[in-house]
Amino acid sequence: MSAAVAVPVVLASIALVDAALAGFRAATGRNGLIRKRAYYVVAMRRGLAGGAAVLGCLALVLGAVLATAPDPGTRYTGLTQAGISMLWVIGPFAAVVVASLVGYAVLPRRPATFLILLGLGPLTLIRPWVTVAAGLTAAWTALDLPTAVCTVVAATSVLAVEPWVHRRWYAEPA
Amino acid sequence: MTTAARRVPARGPGLAGYRTRVPILEISDLIIRHDVATGASLPVRRDEVIAALRAAGDRRGARIVAGLPHRDGVLEAAAVDRLLVRTHTELQRLNEELRIAEQLAELLGPLLAAVARGGERPRVVDVGCGIGYAVRWLAAAGVLGDVDLSGVDFNPALVAEATRLADVEGLACRFVRGDAFALPGSATVYISVGVLHHLRGDALGAFFRAQADAGAQAYCHFDIAATRLAPVGAWMFHRARMREPLGRHDGVVSARRAHTDHDLMTAARSAPGLVPLLHRPTHHSNPFCASVRPLLGVRPQEVSALRAALGPAARHLVTDSRPMRRPW
Ligand SMILES: C[S@@+](CC[C@H](N)C(=O)[O-])C[C@H]1O[C@@H](n2cnc3c(N)ncnc32)[C@H](O)[C@@H]1O
């Protein structure tokens, strides 16, 4: 697969997984029941839907930016390069998050607790900073202003999913 | 009002270093007051709570309380109840992630096997149960077999929420309003999660004595391990997982005023007829894993039965504790 296809596919996949996890986080601490697998599945679907909506809007923006470019081919290459810069920041972070989640699920309880305190908790805290840093890094290396603006908009709009899902469905306790 | 003490820099000329001791306060201890006898909630003046927090050097806590709804300077009881239910629901999410109820069940099973008398249905009572997470989890998991499960808390709003949640899921457990120092009924084993650090001074020993007086065969109390890293971990974890400013504030304060192993053991020894045992004491544990650690108590003649029931995990039981500063 060429970079022109792989980069947007990988970025969109990360964004969708992140959105599902954002839906989960938006619903946490709002339901005191013991059995709430179904509750969380619904929350993750809502996050996913929010993420898909954000990606849809971004696709429209990117489409407009490409359509208005003097040379759409060059701009597409520029956007792909910016996406690669983003992945340099987001990729390692995403890999650590996935590894921590897998570890939490499969490890015995004590090391799993260790993972929460050292891994999952701090990772949640730094996620907005990592996302913004990815957008800014890509903007810094972008070839032109529209590409730079697109990267910053893409990075920050992903951060809107969790507060939106929370406010829309989980503002009040279940 | 329950307090802990910390050293603060003394102000004013000529006062060198740390002299005065001021309390470390949790907001949740200050914004509700109940008549011990009737359980009726008593009015709490917002200014008094703010003054207490300011006097303790806790400006952030004072700001949080200043934002609470009041009528003529008296905190609105219904709003405070809602806030505490919300905060406890967030706290449950933390307990879920740290698998506290699982840890409890792993010890409670062997403890019941060691102390329960044949023919009698064992009774487990969670003291300071909040919205009853531990008891409801045990009831839902059914891991303890045929056991009578109940919870006691002096806050009627939390007891009502615990009851509501148990009813929704059809769980076989009960919740009653009651005071840890005048326990209603009796129990085979008293348990608690995150309650011990609320008890200061003589109240800590009185907590264990009340259970001995109520005829307990054993107890198993989980609380935050007092390490120097605990407040940092608590800050990070509450910041990442809780939304309520009150919960974030009290979470860090809890870690700062957690009792040392030695203080817990000393207080627990004042309860007649029950031998305290620490499981994985703080200085034996990995500092990042010791988020909470349990204190068990059994009758002297049942210590060996408990060790046998715990199997290999019994090697982590310790009967003595050294007076020491917070490790790590
Ligand atoms: C930090 S909360 C822990 C709640 C619950 N055990 C949990 O783990 O979520 C402490 C609880 O202890 C209760 N409590 C404090 N002092 C008490 C007392 N003297 N009698 C009964 N309950 C008490 C409070 O109302 C509060 O619900």
The domain locations on chain A are 3-169
User: Residues of chain A whose pLDDT is less than 50?
Assistant: none
Task: Verify whether the Cβ–Cβ distance A32 to B291 is below 8 Å.
Answer: no
DSSP B314: G
Q: Which of A29, A111, A112 sits opposite B241 (nearest CB)?
A: A29
CA-closest residue to ligand 1 atom 12 = B128
How far from B270 is each of A24, A170, B287, CA to CA, in Å?
A: 46, 46, 28
- The C-alpha atoms of residue B82 and residue B292 are separated, in whole angstroms, by 27
Written as six digits, the tokens of A77 are 């290459």
d(CA B211, CA B149): 16
Closest CA to A75 of A19, A29, A128, A142: A142
Residue of A nearest to B161 (CA): A32
Q: How big is the CA angle at B226 (ends B224 and B232), to the nearest 5 degrees? A: 85
- Please give, rounded to a whole number of angstroms, the shortest distance from the CA of A157 to a CA of chain B: 20
β-sheet bridge partners, residue B24: B4
Closest-CA distance of chain A to residue B166, Å: 8
Chain B residue numbers with beta carbons less than 8 Å from the beta carbon of A128 are: none
Of the candidates A139, A146, A131, the one whose C-alpha atom is nearest the C-alpha of residue A94 is A131
* DSSP designation for B34: B
Ligand 1 binding pocket includes B130 (Cβ within 6 Å): yes
**CA distances to A29, B120, B281, B309 from B243, in Å:** 8, 44, 31, 41
Q: Collect all residues of chain A within an 8 Å Cβ-Cβ radius of residue B136.
A: 34
Give the strand pairing for B317-318 and B275-279. antiparallel
Res B34: pLDDT: 86
Report the CATH number of the B85-318 domain.
Answer: 3.40.50.150
* C-alpha–C-alpha distance, residues B140 and A67, integer Å: 58
Radius of gyration of chain A (CA): 18
Nearest-Cα residue of chain B relative to residue A108: B99
Judged by a CB distance cut-off of 8 A, whether residue A109 touches chain B is: yes
SS3 at position B296: strand
Report the predicted TM-score, pTM, of the whole model to 2 decimal places.
Answer: 0.91
Q: Determine the 3-state secondary structure of B170 from DSSP.
A: coil
Tokens of B256: 């700062």
How, if at all, do strands B148-153 and B189-193 pair? unpaired
Q: Which atom of ligand 1 is nearest to the CA of B179?
A: 20
- State the pairing for strand pair B218-224/B292-298: antiparallel
- Of the residues A34, A36, A120, the best mutation for testing chain B's interface (the one with the most B CB atoms within 10 Å of its CB) is A34
| Nearest atom, ligand 1, residue B155 CA | 25
Report pLDDT for A117.
Answer: 74
pLDDT at B57: 95
User: With contact defined as beta carbons under 8 Å apart, do B181 and B155 qualify?
Assistant: no
Q: Is the dihedral of CA A91, A115, B260, B33 positive or negative?
A: positive
Centroid of ligand 1 to alpha carbon of B196 (angstroms)? 9
pLDDT digits over B192-226, tens only?
A: 999 999 999 999 999 999 999 999 999 999 999 88
Whether residue B236 and residue A122 make contact (CB cut-off 8 A), yes or no, is yes
Of B11, B7, B71, B70, which Cα lies nearest the Cα of B256?
B7
pLDDT at residue B172 in the model: 97
Q: Among B92, B129, B227, B316, pick the best mutation site for testing chain A contact (most A Cβ within 10 A).
A: B92
CA–CA distance, A34 with B138 (Å, rounded to integer): 10
> Is the ipTM above a cut-off of 0.95?
no
User: For B89, which of A35, A125, A173 is closest by C-beta distance?
Assistant: A173
The DSSP code for B169 is T
Candidates B171, B110, B99, B177; CA nearest to B142 is: B171
CA B97 to chain centre: 17
Ligand 1 proximity of B271 Cβ (cutoff 6 Å): no
Residue among B95, B106, B168, B285 with most chain A CBs within 10 A, to mutate: B168
Whole-number Å distance between alpha carbons of A44 and A38: 10
CB-based contacts of B17, cutoff 8 Å, min separation 6 = B9, B10
pLDDT at position A1: 74
**What is the C-alpha separation between B255 and B24, in angstroms, rounded?**
11
From the centroid of its chain, how far is CA A10?
Answer: 11
User: Splitting chain B (328 residues) into consecutive groups of 10 residues, what average pLDDT does each group show?
Assistant: 41 34 89 84 95 96 98 96 97 93 95 87 97 98 96 96 98 96 92 96 96 96 89 89 96 94 94 91 57 92 94 85 60
Q: Say if CB B186 and CB B214 are below 8 A apart.
A: yes
Sequence length of chain B is 328
The separation between CA B186 and the C-alpha centre of its own chain, rounded to angstroms, equals: 19
pLDDT at A106: 92
All CATH 3.40.50.150 domain ranges in chain B, comma separated: 85-318
What's the token pair of residue A52?
A: 């898909």
Q: Which residues contact A67 (CB under 8 A, 6 or more apart)?
A: none
